[in-house]
Amino acid sequence: MFRSKLSAYRGAVLGLAVAGVMLAGPAIAQTTAAAPPAPSKTLDAVKARGELICGVIGTSPGFSLPDSQGVMRGIDADQCRAVAAAIFGDASKVKWVMLSPQQRFTGLQSGEVDVLFANVTWTMTRESQLGMQFPNIYYYDGQAFIVKKSLGVDSAKGLNGASICMLTGGTSELTVQEYFSANSMTYTPVVLGEGEEARKAFLADRCDAYTSDGSSLAGFKASQGDKANELVILPERMTAEPLGGAVRKGDERWFDIVRWTHFALVTAELNGITSDNIDTFKASQDPRIRRFMGEEGDLGATLGLENNWAYNVVKAVGNLGQVWDRNVIGVDRGYNNLWTKGGLQYAPPFR
């Protein structure tokens, strides 16, 4: 009797399962069908304007700093260009808005800029309280100190009683306060509003040390030419500083565009695709490459972009490694390398 009841139960369950599959079939088909991209007020405004308005610091070597011809250079600048290339197929369609650390969040919140690439560290409160989201981490960094060799210090632990130049409006002040407190050390803060002002103050001996992200310090040191050897970046990193692009909350499609533009740079490097050889990949028979290049499928359409948007990004600015190599001087790539090379840069599949 027990076996007969069990057989009847199994039959009933199987029948319900089959019926469920039959009933669910059309619904499943509907959910897997390609849906039109969600509207994006930001994307619509950018297209109507004919240019991307990008917020940058504009005084940060290696990240955003005009060259001798007035052309904005750096990793942040290239991230902006990549987004413009994704939208317009033209990386030059960028309007630069230089924002100090105190101004950058207000500039994004108010709509003055469409996206922010301004040495911004992704933190919980910035995302939970300031109405912004971080689509990517394009640079893994850490706050450090730079000193003159003449100070005779080779570790941050030797800075007890030192004066420290730092920027207001960012995380530097709190980080230094917490580091010195944790190590039972004292210091005198010299708080300044602009990076260039802080660097000049340090060089003029208004402070014993200058603190900023290690990458920024390396760019600053390299910019000193023959005098670079007179400066030392101390080995300690007081924080983990994941630098990301920032967008306003409430526009998911725009968030997706900025996020996947970065992933395009990572994916290109992973597959050996550069700005120089990308056209040779148009003949690839690898379906993953063909989707990435826009040769088949409609990945671009899901973002409200042309299907060859990723091709346009890489053709214009190169892959992530190329962006690094032309902008970063004197810094080991380390965590910023691809995951296949021991780093943290990783991209989800383009499918």
* Residues 276-296 pLDDT 10s: 999 999 999 999 999 999 999
Query: What CATH fold (topology level) applies to the domain 41-142+241-331?
Result: D-Maltodextrin-Binding Protein; domain 2 (3.40.190)
Contacts of 151 (CB under 8 A, 6+ apart): 208, 209
Helices (H), 33-129: 41-49, 75-88, 104-109, 124-129
Q: How would you class 180 by CB atoms within 10 Å of its CB: exposed for 0-12, middle for 13-18, buried for 19 or more?
A: buried
Using one digit for the tens of pLDDT, what is the confidence trace for 9-38?
344 433 433 333 333 333 333 334 556 667
pLDDT value at 182 more than 70 = yes
Cβ atoms within 10 A of the Cβ of 54, count? 25
Q: What percentage of residues in the chain have a pLDDT greater than 70?
A: 89
**Coil, helix or strand at residue 110:** coil
Spatial distance between the Cα atoms of 44 and 50, rounded to a whole number of angstroms: 10
pLDDT of residue 117: 97
CA dihedral (79, 83, 89, 90) in degrees, to 10, reads: -50
pLDDT of residue 34: 56
Q: What percentage of residues in the chain have a pLDDT greater than 90?
A: 75
Check for a shared fold between 41-142+241-331 and 143-234: yes
Superfamily of domain 143-234, CATH level 4: Periplasmic binding protein-like II (3.40.190.10)
Using one digit for the tens of pLDDT, what is the confidence trace for 119-153?
898 999 999 999 999 999 999 999 999 999 999 99
Q: Please name every residue paired with 72 in a beta bridge, in sequence order, or none if there are none.
A: 66
Using one digit for the tens of pLDDT, what is the confidence trace for 33-58?
556 667 899 999 999 999 999 999 99
pLDDT of residue 29: 37
Spatial distance between the Cα atoms of 64 and 100, rounded to a whole number of angstroms: 12
Using one digit for the tens of pLDDT, what is the confidence trace for 188-246?
999 998 888 999 999 999 999 999 988 888 888 988 989 999 999 998 989 888 999 99
pLDDT value at 319 more than 80 = yes
Domain ranges of the chain: 41-142+241-331, 143-234
Residue type, 195: G
Q: CA–CA distance from 314 to each of 46, 91, 301 (Å)?
A: 20, 10, 18
Q: 326, 265 in Cβ contact below 8 A?
A: no
pLDDT of residue 306: 97
pLDDT of residue 216: 81
Q: What is the pTM of this model?
A: 0.78
pLDDT, average across residues 50-74: 94
Cα-based angle 272, 277, 76 (whole degrees, multiple of 5):
70
